[in-house]
Amino acid sequence: MNTAFRTASNSFFLGALLCLSQISHAESSDISGTWRSIDDKTGYAKSLIKIEKNTNGLYSGKIIKVLSHAGYKPEEFCIDCPAPFTGKPIEGLNVLTGLKANPSEEGLYDGGKILDPLSGHIYSAKIKLNSDGKKLVIRGFIGFSLLGRSQTWYREDKAAE
């Protein structure tokens, strides 16, 4: 094999490897996808939420499935929610809106709102995605981030999406 061909082959291989690593990094640092929400009070999984990025670069999330467990029957409708959510089915409800990637910190998304469909309260929201892209912590708060509560959500396998 001549040297020019070997150099070209190595360059192509390294370029392809670099592209694949960038794609992998982009997937792990993006919050788009399906997430299993875990109740911070009970520790049980509550729902599956699909987060998507719109054309303006903002993220929103919709409940695509409400989960039950032994001894717990989930609410079906958003009873105590403000308009326009009042009386709407919880499955299909947009509960996360207006989040954007924070350019000053990798994996941080802020500036959004989150609706708690059980209490009807709407909170300011920020999300911190962990480095492998499989877990995020949602912080809902009023005013200051210190005055709020957090939930951990886990990414569902791509096959589940």
Domain residue limits at 59: 31-160
**Which residue, 84, 89, 61, 86, is CA-closest to 74?**
89
Would 21 be classed as within a structural domain? no
Q: How many domains does the chain have?
A: 1
Write out the chain's pLDDT in tens, 161 residues: 555 545 544 444 434 333 333 333 344 579 999 999 998 888 899 999 999 999 999 999 999 999 988 888 888 999 999 999 999 999 999 999 999 999 999 999 999 999 999 999 999 999 999 999 999 999 999 987 888 899 999 999 764 44
Q: Is residue 16 part of a domain?
A: no
Report yes or no on 18 lying in a domain: no
- Does the residue 2 lie in any domain? no
pTM: 0.78
Looking at the domain assignment, is residue 145 inside a domain?
Answer: yes
Whether 38 maps to a domain, the answer reads yes
Question: Could you tell me if residue 23 is inside a domain?
Answer: no
Structure tokens at 159: 């096959």
**Cα-based distances in Å from 71 to 40, 44, 68, 76:** 17, 11, 8, 16
CATH number of the structural domain spanning residue 92 = 2.40.128.520
The reported pLDDT for the residue numbered 1 is: 54
Contacts with 75 (C-beta within 8 Å, 6 or more apart), sequence order: 66, 90, 117, 118
With respect to residue 19, please indicate whether it lies within any of the assigned structural domains: no
Q: What is the largest CA-CA distance in the chain?
A: 74
Q: Are 156 and 34 in contact (CB under 8 A)?
A: yes
